[in-house]
Amino acid sequence: MIEKNHMATYAVIGDPIDHSLSPNIHSAAFRELNLEHSYIAYRIPKGELEEGIEALKKIKIAGFNVTIPHKVEMMKFLDKTDESCSIIGAVNTVTNDNGTLKGYNTDMDGFLDPIKKKEIQIKGRKILLLGAGGAARAIVAGFAKEHAASITIANRTLENAKKLAMFSEQVGLKSKYVKIDEVGGTAKDYDIIVNATSVGLKNEPSPISLEGISSNTIVYDIIYMPMNTDFLKKAKEKGAKIIFGYEMLLGQAVRAFEIWHGMEAPYNAMKRALLGGV
């Protein structure tokens, strides 16, 4: 644990890394709590992870976040992992205790955070998850933990959807899988719809039709830039309750802060910093 008056350096590693919002968010938290820490973005290209970690250890990095493309490979370089990390099979937050690296995965808690803040009930709900990539496994684990009734995984590649559906069954959540273009007009049959695909990053049209959904439907897009994807715009037009991708990003950052510092994160200061950069 870092003492409050001790200067420490934190980082986010990945490639590309220039557009990461993490330095702004964590720096705002340090300012708010008068912590003498710094947070840097550190580019480590694919294939250079081992050397990059050694360099971070040399500067006695106190902790770091891990983003694309290192979230799975980083698992090999950890001395310890927490349960979320082991279940999801990927790491995005690391503590460095005198050279001992412990990994955590804040994707699940980050994803669930805005749902809990809005007091939305997951238990017994039917879920439609679009996408079976990076964050999807953590999202499935989160829905399983909160006892959703069932999940349908819709993906471009059926093979990946099938693998994720098998994982879902392993963690106790009833599942089925379909190709994303087979969703058709069935969105209205679900209580919660989550977009975990990259469709929307470049302002593309919504990956599915939201015809028939209502004000009782919760629609969540994990893309945070742009903030208002076509998927969310269509959901708003139907009067659905929406959750923005930045809310998950903020939930992840708050959880990482609490892992590193053992104190409550200044949520509002971090939110202001994040929305300034979105």
Instruction: Provide the annotated active-site residues.
Output: 71
Q: What single-letter amino acid sits at 128?
A: L
Closest by alpha carbon to 168, among 142, 191, 198, 187? 142
DSSP 66: E
Residue 239 CB coordination number (10 Å): 12
Task: Report the alpha-carbon distance of residue 110 to residue 114 in Å, rounded.
Answer: 8
The helix/strand count (H/E) of the chain reads as: 9, 12
Beta bridge partners of 130: 154, 195
Task: Report the alpha-carbon distance of residue 1 to residue 3 in Å, rounded.
Answer: 6
Task: Encode 144-177: b = buried (16+ Cβ within 10 Å), e = exposed.
Answer: bbbebebbbbbbbebebbbbbbebbeebebebeb
The secondary structure element, H or E, covering residue 235 is helix 230-237
